[in-house]
Chain A
Amino acid sequence: MHRTLLVARREFLENVRTKGFWLSIIIFPLLISLSAVIPAFLARKATPTRTFAVADASGHYEPLIAAAVRSGDGRRSNRMTGPPSTPLPARTRFHLAPLPAGLKSDMDLATLEHQLRPLLVSQGTNALFAAVLIPRDFGPGSTNAVRYWCANQADSGLRDLIERTLRTEFRREEYTRQGFDPALVTRTEALQVPIADLNPTKAVGTERVGLADQIIQWAPSLFVYLLWIAIFAVSQMLLNSVIEEKSNRLIEVLLSSITPTQLMMGKLFGIAAVGLVMLGAWLGSIFTVALWQTRAAAAVATAGSGLSELPQALVGLFQGTWLLPAFAFYFLCGYVLYAAVFLTIGSLCNTIKDAQNLMGPLMIILMVPLFLMPFIPRDPNGPLASFLSWIPLYTPFVMMNRVSAHPPLWEVVGTTIVLLAFIVFLLWACGRIFRLAILRTGQPPRILELLRWVTETKSS
C-alpha cells in the first residue's frame, strides 16, 4: 500500500507541475466568468445605437414607434407579465432620427426610397441603419405592407420592435372596433393559471414541490456532466503516464520494484486526484461566479421570492437523506471505472497514436448515457433503466438518474457489486497486460491475443 502511495504521489506531482494543468485550471473559470460578463458587455458596448428614420404617410403610427423606442421596449419587450420594465440603460439601443432635410412623409414612395437609399448604405455621419416606410392606407386588415429597408439582416432587434409595436396597436384598434374595453383586454391577457405541484412520495405536510425538488431533479444531470468533464480532464494524463513508461522501457525497472497492481493503483489514485483538484477548482469558481451574479441580480431586482428560496433549497438538498452521498458514490465509482479503462487502453498501446485508434469506440460507448439520459428519469425503474444498470460501464450514469426514484434494493446492491467487481477486474487486467507488454513492442495486440494474455494462468 505504501508504494502505491509513492506512485500516486509522483503521478500527482508530475501532472500538477505541467503547464497544461495550470492552463486548464485557469482557462475554464476564465471562460465561465467571461461567458457571464461578455454577452451583457457586448450587448451594452459592442452593438452601436441604431439610428433609423420613419416616413409615416398615415401619420398615426410614428408616435407609437417613437414611444416604444423611448420606453426601452427593445430591451425587455418579451416580458408580457411581471414588474414594469427596468429604467433605460445608459445607452439607448435605437434612435429615431427625423427624415433628412427636403424629405417629407407624404412624398411619393418611389422618390422617398430613391433619396433614402444612399443613406442606408453610406458609412457617414448621416447614415441610417434602417428606414421604415408606412403607406397612407396602412391599418388592420390592410394588404399594403410596411416597407422595412435595412442592409443588416442579422440584427433583427429593430424590425422586431416595429413589428411588435404595430401588432399591439392593430389588436388594440381591432378590440375597440369590436366594442371591447382595451383595459379589460389587458387585464384578461394577464390572467394566470395557478398549479400546485405535489409529490406523493414525500412526507405528509411537505408534499409541495419546491425549488429544492427541482434542483434534486436536475442534480443527476449535473453529476453526469461533471463525471464526463472529470473523465475527459484526466483521460490524456492516464494514457500518457502508462505509455511513457512503456515506450521508455521504465516498465522493467518498475516491475522489478513493485507489483503491476500497485503501479496501476498508484497511477489511478494519483491522476484521479489531479482531476478532482481540477474539478474542485472549477466548481469553486463556478460557485463564486454564480454567487456574485446572484448578488448582482439581487441588487438590481426587488428581492424575488425565487432567490430567497435558493439557500434553503440547497440546504434541503444537502440534508436530503442519502441522495447526495449516493451521487457522490456513483460519481467516484464512475470516475475510477473510466480511469481504469483509460489505463487499460494505455497499457495496450506503445504510442499515443495507437491509443487514439482505440479511443474512438470508447467515445461511442461513453456517448450512450448522454443520449439516454432524458429517457431514464421518465421511467426510472423501467426495463431500459433496469437493463442498463447491469452494464458496469453505464451503472454510474444510470444509477445517478435512478436513485431519487427508489429503485429496488436488490438492484442497487447487485449493480453496485457488479460495478465494483468490474473495477477490480480492470485494474488487475491492465496491470497484467502492462506486465506482459514487456515482451511486446510494436502494434497493439489483437483481441484474441489479449484474451489469451488476460486468461493465461498465473504461473505462466
Chain B
Amino acid sequence: MATPVLELERVSKYFGDFPAVQELSFSVPAGCIFGFLGPNGAGKTTSLRMILDILRPTTGSITILGHPSALKVRDRVGYLPEEKGLYKKMKAWSVIAYFASLKGVPGAKAKRTAHELLERHGLGDFAEARTDTLSKGMSQKVQVLASIAHDPELVILDEPFSGLDPLNQGVLEELVLDLKARGRTVIFSTHVMQHAERMCDRLLVLARGRKCFEGSVVEARRLLIPKVRLSAVGDLRALEALPTVAALNHLGPGEWEIILRAGADPQSVLSACFTLGLPLTSFHATQPSLHDVFVHLVGAEVATEDP
C-alpha cells in the first residue's frame, strides 16, 4: 500500500470529562473512497474536525498528507461541514470562486472554474442566482462544488447526502466517483448504508467514540455469519461434517438451512455438494447487507457499554 493520505494514531478527544472520541487509530490509503459510518453522536464530526485541525485532539497524533496539521496543507484539502450554509446575498458562482480563492486559486481561474463546475453539474442556469433563491438541493450542490473547486487531493465530506432527494443523491454519488477516477481521495461520513455499500473502498465504523470496524466492505460482510438455504431431494446431513459449517437445520421436507462459520465462503458448501454428489434443486446464499453488519456492530458495541 502506498503512503496513506491520512493516518490517525490513538487519537482521543475529551470535552470536559466527556469522551467524544477514544483511542481512534486508522489510515486512509491514497485514491480511495473512505466511508465514515456510525450512529448519531458516535464522534464522526468531531473526528473530521480534528482531522482538519479545527479541533485539537486531547491526546494522539494525526498525519495528513504527510504533515502533522491540516492547517499546513489547507490548500490541498477540501471540506464540506455537516451543518451547511452559504452567504445568502452572494451569487452561486461567486461563492464557489471566493472559497476557491481562499484556498489559493488565482481570481480569474477561480471564476472560470466556478462557472465550469456549475455548468458540468447542471446548475449553469443558476450561476448568477443569489444563493438564498436556490432550493436546498441546489445550494447543497453549490457547497459541495465550493469544497472541491480548488481541486484538492483529499476531500472530506461530512454527511454530504443528508437532505438530498434520491435523484440528487445519485448526482452526488457520480461526483464522488468522478473524484476517485481522477485519483483523488474522498472521505465521507454517513449513516445511510446504501451509499457506503455502493461507493466505499474502505469503511470505518464508529460507535460511542470508539472504532468498532475498519476494512473493506467485503471484510465487513464477513463479520456476519452467512447462511445458506438449500432444497434437495435426498438427505444433506453429510454436509454437517464440512469444516466451514457450524450447524445444519432441517426446516421441512426437502428444505435445509446451513449456518456457516464466521468468515466462511458459501461457495465451499456448493462445491462440497458437487463433490459428494448431493442432488440439489436450489441453492441460495443470503448475502448480509452492510446494514445488517452495521446493526450487528453498533448494537454489539452499545450492548457492551450498557451492562
Could you list which residues of chain A lie within 8 angstroms of chain B, going by C-beta atoms?
3, 6-7, 10, 14, 17-18, 244, 247-250, 252-259, 435, 438-439, 459-460
Complex CA gap A223/B79 in Å reads 46
Q: Is B26 an interface residue (CB 8 A)?
A: no
Q: Is B81 an interface residue (CB 8 A)?
A: yes
Minimum CB–CB distance from A372 to chain B (whole Å) comes to 40
Classify the secondary structure of A's interface with B.
Answer: helix
Minimum CB–CB distance from B136 to chain A (whole Å) comes to 14
| Chain A residues near B90 (CB-CB < 8 A) | 14
Complex CA gap A256/B90 in Å reads 20
| Chain A residues near B143 (CB-CB < 8 A) | 253
Q: Which of B73-115 contact A (CB under 8 A)?
A: 74, 77, 79-81, 83-90, 98-99, 101-103
Closest B residue to A250 by CB, please name it.
Answer: B85
Closest B residue to A7 by CB, please name it.
Answer: B102
Q: State whether A438 and B102 are in contact (beta carbons under 8 Å apart), knowing that A14-B87, A252-B81, A257-B74 are contacts in the complex.
A: no
- Which size class do B's interface residues fall under? 20 to 34
A6 lies within 8 A of B101 (CB):
yes
Those 10 A-B pairs whose CB atoms lie nearest each other, nearest first:
A248-B85, A249-B83, A252-B81, A257-B102, A256-B79, A249-B85, A256-B52, A250-B85, A6-B101, A255-B54
Closest B residue to A459 by CB, please name it.
Answer: B56
Minimum CB–CB distance from B217 to chain A (whole Å) comes to 28
Q: Is B274 an interface residue (CB 8 A)?
A: no
| Chain A residues near B79 (CB-CB < 8 A) | 252-253, 256
Q: State whether A438 and B147 are in contact (beta carbons under 8 Å apart), knowing that A6-B102, A254-B102, A256-B74 are contacts in the complex.
A: no
Q: State whether A460 and B56 are in contact (beta carbons under 8 Å apart), knowing that A253-B147, A257-B74 are contacts in the complex.
A: yes
Other 18 A-B pairs with CB < 8 A, given A248-B86, A252-B49: A6-B98, A7-B102, A17-B89, A244-B87, A248-B88, A252-B52, A252-B83, A253-B79, A253-B146, A256-B70, A256-B74, A256-B77, A257-B103, A258-B74, A258-B102, A435-B54, A438-B49, A438-B55
A253 lies within 8 A of B54 (CB):
no
Minimum CB–CB distance from A271 to chain B (whole Å) comes to 15
Complex CA gap A6/B81 in Å reads 22
A257 lies within 8 A of B99 (CB):
yes
Complex CA gap A7/B103 in Å reads 12
| Chain B residues near A6 (CB-CB < 8 A) | 98, 101-102
| Chain A residues near B77 (CB-CB < 8 A) | 256
Q: Is B238 an interface residue (CB 8 A)?
A: no
| Chain A residues near B80 (CB-CB < 8 A) | 253
Complex CA gap A254/B95 in Å reads 12
| Chain B residues near A18 (CB-CB < 8 A) | 89
Closest A residue to B143 by CB, please name it.
Answer: A253
| Chain B residues near A253 (CB-CB < 8 A) | 79-81, 99, 143, 146-147
Q: Is B181 an interface residue (CB 8 A)?
A: no
Can you list 30 pairs linking A and B with CB atoms under 8 Å apart?
A3-B102, A6-B98, A6-B101, A6-B102, A14-B89, A14-B90, A18-B89, A247-B85, A248-B86, A250-B86, A250-B87, A252-B54, A252-B79, A252-B81, A253-B80, A253-B99, A253-B143, A253-B146, A253-B147, A255-B54, A256-B74, A256-B79, A257-B74, A257-B102, A258-B74, A258-B102, A259-B71, A435-B54, A438-B49, A460-B56
